[in-house]
């Protein structure tokens, strides 16, 4: 009887160890501020390299505000449609580059926050070059090694050299 109980106990222990090692129950990687910053830098690099597939993968459709329109954008954009939009934008410019000027990050569990400024330099086909400073905020969720954007905000406003808002003339 004791050997049956021991055998049962060992079997349960082995099943528990095997179950705990499955991807669904594995311990998630602890999210760090540096990981959030790295994700933002990866997106900046993809945008500057004009790689639409990487841009869409790193900055998927999400609810938020920005990209030169007043109306909020929805997360309900299928990937092919988002990819077409990014490709159309890149086809409309002779050049496009993003430079990360400043980024701050914070982490709470599996949620990462990033905020700061970046500079966009671009030239629409047949037009003069433009350079704008963009203020941004991202809220990311890190799940199973992948990032999901929960909410974002980007705006282009006039700022002086010290970063103070310049009111309209």
Give the pLDDT mean for 141-165.
84
The dihedral through the CA atoms of 66, 67, 71, 72 has a sign that is negative
Cα distance between residue 71 and residue 55, in whole Å:
22
Window from 32-41, 59-68, 156-165 with minimum mean pLDDT: 156-165
Give the pLDDT mean for 128-156.
92
Domain boundaries, the chain: 30-156
Give the pLDDT mean for 15-21.
46
Q: What is the pLDDT of residues 109-118, one digit of tens each?
A: 999 999 999 9
In this predicted structure, what is the pLDDT of residue 8?
47
In this predicted structure, what is the pLDDT of residue 10?
46
In this predicted structure, what is the pLDDT of residue 16?
44
Cα distance between residue 129 and residue 119, in whole Å:
13
In this predicted structure, what is the pLDDT of residue 67?
64
Query: Is it the case that residue 13 has pLDDT exceeding 50?
Result: no
The structural architecture, per CATH, of the domain 30-156 is Roll (3.10)
In this predicted structure, what is the pLDDT of residue 74?
80
Give the pLDDT mean for 16-30.
51
Residue 5 — very low, low, confident or very high, per pLDDT cuts 50/70/90?
low
Query: Is it the case that residue 126 has pLDDT exceeding 80?
Result: yes
- pLDDT above 90 coverage of the chain, percent: 57
Cα torsion 120, 121, 126, 128 to 10°: value is 110
Residue 14 — very low, low, confident or very high, per pLDDT cuts 50/70/90?
very low
Window from 9-23, 64-78, 104-118, 127-141 with minimum mean pLDDT: 9-23
In this predicted structure, what is the pLDDT of residue 28?
57
Nearest-5° Cα angle at 61, 57 to 62: 125
Answer yes or no: are the C-beta atoms of 87 and 52 closer than 8 Å. Answer: yes
């Amino acid at each position: 009887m004791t050997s049956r109980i021991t055998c049962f106990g060992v079997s349960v222990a082995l099943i528990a160890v095997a179950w705990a090692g499955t991807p669904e129950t594995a311990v998630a990687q602890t999210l760090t501020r540096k990981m959030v910053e790295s994700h933002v830098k990866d997106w900046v690099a993809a945008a500057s390299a004009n790689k639409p597939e990487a841009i869409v993968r790193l900055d998927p459709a999400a609810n938020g505000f920005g990209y030169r329109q007043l109306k909020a954008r929805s997360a309900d954009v299928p990937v092919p449609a988002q990819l077409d939009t990014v490709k159309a934008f890149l086809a409309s410019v002779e050049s496009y580059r993003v430079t990360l000027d400043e980024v701050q990050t914070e982490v709470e569990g599996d949620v990462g926050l990033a905020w700061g400024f970046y500079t966009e330099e671009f030239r629409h086909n047949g037009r003069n070059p433009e350079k704008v400073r963009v203020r941004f905020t991202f809220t990311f969720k890190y799940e199973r090694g992948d990032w999901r954007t929960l909410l974002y905000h980007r705006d282009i406003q006039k700022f002086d050299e010290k970063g103070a808002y310049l009111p309209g003339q």
